[in-house]
Chains A and B, each alone.
Chain A
């Protein structure tokens, strides 16, 4: 579905990701790694928010290496950044609406699905997104991405800074989204334990290089820990 070949990307002249090649199929594809491993850089590159220094990127066989970021929703790609992932001066409803222009289904239908997944958002529709708690903000960011009717959802550390209750609810929603809507999910995370519960495959990054790519079924926590510290 989504294929990266010899992907090199970074900021200015500095390469953060080095020669990454992988394919994301119809699955939850997790990207694990410690701080500075290159997870955010990878997701930004896949969302075409960062230009690639070298390599190729294709989606369903179509080359998207030079595609601008604002064309990606039309390809079915939605991106949820780790931080600053809502528009604070817009209301919850406006945040959801601004992401709902793509796809063919009626907005009301998509909204109901988002509210079914995140009931709390329905209670706060008129509220400025900047006044939401961290967990609610994260729900709004994921909800807005789902309003795009994506076929691929790029989630950058959705559990960062959240309480355990919110993390539990969020990972459950991510699993539901995959199971019920068939959305392919690329999930960058530091929470390896929770990630292993829902992911189909795991890639471990360290200093921008891939150190492990395996099915979660055949993977132990020890192997992940070892890959983290290479």
Chain B
């Protein structure tokens, strides 16, 4: 039971990260391939403050998140006005630097040996997982709510405008560079919060936690579900992490001698799903989240007469 709660808690973290990536990429068009770097700064920042400096968990998470947001600000200043490929490469490099720093700064992080132990903030041993799971549910639910509301907000429309045509958005008076920077810093800071919240789940932190596989898993989930739809990100995590890491790896009656192949089988299936989605449904299972009319700002969609075609 404890392992199931742990797995669901991790899945909640993935859902939270996918929501933030949906805001960054799905709405604002910022291809952040350094998710694990910002999450890792939160994870290790919390761990270092908690273990080495006896900072209580909640302030440690807050400080670590600020560090992640600060790193995002510096990175945003340097790269956000560059091309998508440049942002992709730079964020990937950033995550690699974070992982290498964790290995090289042994006095702070314990290097390859690891860092621990990080305790749970509430409850005794028997109930701590449940209480902490409840906190995670509340945090991730808040992220989902914000992410869902964002599409219909003024900021959300500006983000979509910037994603679709940054030059046109600028000509309409939008400070596109500042808006992108703000959204990148806030969402990366929140990735740091999720990293900090992950520290008690892992309890003992090792550099392996900062492998790029986390970034790729969140990206695959987002692309699978639909990058332009915040519920797509949730479905994507259920279909990847939920299906493979929880259901198959934990509960499928796989003989021991074949169980060792499961991680590779999982990656194979991830790849297969990704290729299938890109080939047959490029906008993801839920597709693009189009213009909304429910807010009352728009009149109900009319039944338009066939539009004349221009030559």
Contacts and interface: CB of A to CB of B under 8 A. Distances in A.
A74 B164 CA distance: 23
A81 B172 CA distance: 12
Given A88-B164, A89-B164, A101 B308 contact: no
Contacts of B157: 90, 94, 97-98
Size class of the A contact interface (CB-based, 8 Å): 35 or more
Contacts of A99: 172
A87 B171 contact: no
B82 interface: no
Contact of B310 (A79, A94, A135): A135
Contacts, number: 116
Interface in A117-131: 123-128
B258 interface: no
Given A79-B171, A89-B288, A127 B310 contact: no
Interface string B168-207: 1111111110000000000000000000000000000000
A206 interface: no
Interface in A135-157: 135-136, 144, 148
Interface stretch (A24-32, A160-168, A191-199): A160-168
B161 A124 contact: no
B300 interface: yes
A175 interface: no
A124 B164 CA distance: 20
Given A74-B173, A124-B302, A127-B301, A136 B307 contact: yes
A116 interface: no
Interface residues of B, number: 36
A33 interface: no
Given A89-B288, A135-B308, A98 B158 contact: yes
7 contacts: A47-B171, A69-B167, A91-B298, A127-B301, A135-B308, A148-B173, A163-B308
Interface of B: 157-158, 160-161, 163-165, 167-176, 228, 288, 290-293, 297-302, 304-305, 307-311
Q: Give the top 5 A-B pairs by smallest Cβ distance, nearest first.
A: A91-B291, A73-B173, A126-B301, A133-B307, A134-B310
Interface of A: 47, 49, 68-74, 78-79, 81, 84-85, 87-91, 93-94, 97-99, 101-102, 123-128, 132-136, 144, 148, 161-163, 165-166
